[in-house]
Chain A
C-alpha cells in the first residue's frame, strides 16, 4: 500500500505538489491524470524515492520512506518497476545489454541463462528481433516495449509504474502498449500509469486521480470521471468524444 500524507514539493518558489494526499492499495490499476507540470511524474519518482518531499509523509507498506537513506531505499525500490518517459534505455548499450543489465548486476546467471531470459522477456513484449539493435535504431513503440522488458527483468515487482508510457506514440502503438500493460497486470500485479491521454488511461485503469495545481481534485472510477463537472476534467474527457467542430 502506498500512502501520501499532505506531501508538498516545489522547485524554487513554484509549488508542484501542495498537501497532496491519497492512498493506493496493492494490485490497484490506477491512472494519474493532469496537465503538464501538474506533478504526475513527481509522484511516481517520490514513490521510488528518487525525489524527496519538502514536507509530508510517504508510506509504502507501512514504512515511512521519507527520510530513508539511498541504501535503505533499495529495499523499497525492489517492490516496484518503473518505465520512464521515453523509455530511458541506456543509449550506449544494445537492447540485449539493456534488458540484461540487472541480471548481470545482481544475479550469478551464466551468459547462456542471461541470453535465454532476455529473449523470453523480449518475446513477452514482442520485440525479440530487435535484440542486437541500439536504442537509437528503435521506433518509439519498440523503445517503450524494451523499457518494459528491462523493468520486468529487475525482479517480479508488485506494482509497475509507467511514466507517460504512450506519449508521442501513434494510436496503434499506444493501443499495443496499453494492451501489454493490461496483459502484464493479469497476474495480479498492480500498476500506476501517469498520462495526459485519457483514452489510454481508460484502457488500462480502474481508478483515476486527477491533479490540478498540485492537488488531487478528482479520485474515482471511470464513470465518475466521465461525468465530472470540473472544467479541466471535462476538457480531458472531451478527448473521448469526437468533436471536430469544438474549436471552429
Chain B
C-alpha cells in the first residue's frame, strides 16, 4: 500500500465528508434531490429493514430464552432482549442493512455518473457536485437511518415478544412490562445517538467511493465493494468507540 496515496485519499475523503455536511447550511438547497434520496433511503428500505429486524428479534429471543430457562430467569427475557436491541443490536443491524441497500446504491449510482461523464457535466455547468450529489445523500441518511432504526427496534421487539409468548410460554404482560422498565433515558439515548453517526459514515464513505470511480464496469464493482466493506468496518469500529464513550458519559461503570 502506498502511504502517500493513502494519506491523499484520506484527505480527499475528509474534504468531501466535511463539505458534504457543511453543504446543509449553504445555499442552494436541493429540496427535490433531498426528498428523492429520503424516499429511496427510507421508504425504499422499510420492508427489508422490517424483515431483517423481525428475524433478528426472534433469533435473539430464542437464544436468550434457551439460556435463561436453564438458569430459571425466563422472566428477564424482555429486559435483556430490550436492552440488547435498543442499545446495540438494533442500531448496528439497521446500519448494516442500510449499508447493503443504500450505501451500495449510492456508490454504484455516483460511480456510473462518473463513468458516464455526468459529474463532469455538472462541473461544466458550474454546479458543485458535492452540494448537488453528496449533501442530499448525507441529509437523507442522517434523517432516515435513525427513523428506520426506531421502526426496526419496534419490529425486533415484536418478534422477540412473539417467541417469548408463543414459543417460550412466557406472559406477554411480563414481557412488555420488563421492556417498558428499560426504556429510560440512558438506554434510549444510547440507541438514538448511534444511527446519526452511522448514517453519516455510510453516506460519506459511499459518496466518496462513487465519486472516485475510475474505469468501466470493473471500476464500478471495486467502488461499490469498497463502499460496503469500508462502511461495515467503520460502523463496527465506531460502534465500539461510541459505546465506550456513551457508557462513560452516562455514568456506567465498566
- What residues make up the interface of A, taking CB atoms closer than 8 Å to B? 45, 48, 50, 70, 74, 77-78, 80-82, 84-86, 88-91, 101-102, 105-106, 154
Contact = CB atoms under 8 A, between A and B. Distances in A.
Contacts of B123: 50, 70, 77
B177 interface: no
B251 interface: no
A89 B125 CA distance: 12
B127 A105 contact: yes
A33 to B, nearest CB: 21
Given A50-B123, A77-B123, 14 more contacts: A50-B120, A50-B124, A70-B123, A77-B125, A81-B124, A82-B121, A84-B117, A85-B117, A86-B116, A90-B118, A91-B118, A105-B126, A105-B127, A106-B126
B168 to A, nearest CB: 49
Contact of A105 (B116, B118, B120, B125): B125
B252 to A, nearest CB: 47
B121 A45 contact: no
B45 to A, nearest CB: 19
Nearest to A105: B127
A77 B124 CA distance: 6
A70 B125 CA distance: 12
Interface residues of B, number: 11
Interface in B126-149: 126-128
Contact of A74 (B116, B117, B118, B126): B126
- Listed residue (A74, A82, A88, A90) with the most chain B CB atoms within 10 angstroms of its CB: A88
- Listed residue (B116, B124, B128) with the most chain A CB atoms within 10 angstroms of its CB: B124
B126 A88 contact: no
Given A88-B118, A91-B116, A91-B118, A82 B127 contact: no
Contact of A101 (B120, B125, B128): B125
Contacts of B126: 74, 77-78, 105-106
Nearest to B36: A92
A45 B125 contact: no
25 contacts: A45-B120, A48-B124, A50-B120, A50-B123, A50-B124, A70-B128, A74-B126, A77-B124, A77-B126, A78-B126, A80-B124, A81-B124, A82-B121, A84-B120, A85-B117, A86-B116, A88-B116, A90-B118, A90-B121, A91-B116, A101-B125, A102-B125, A105-B125, A106-B126, A154-B125
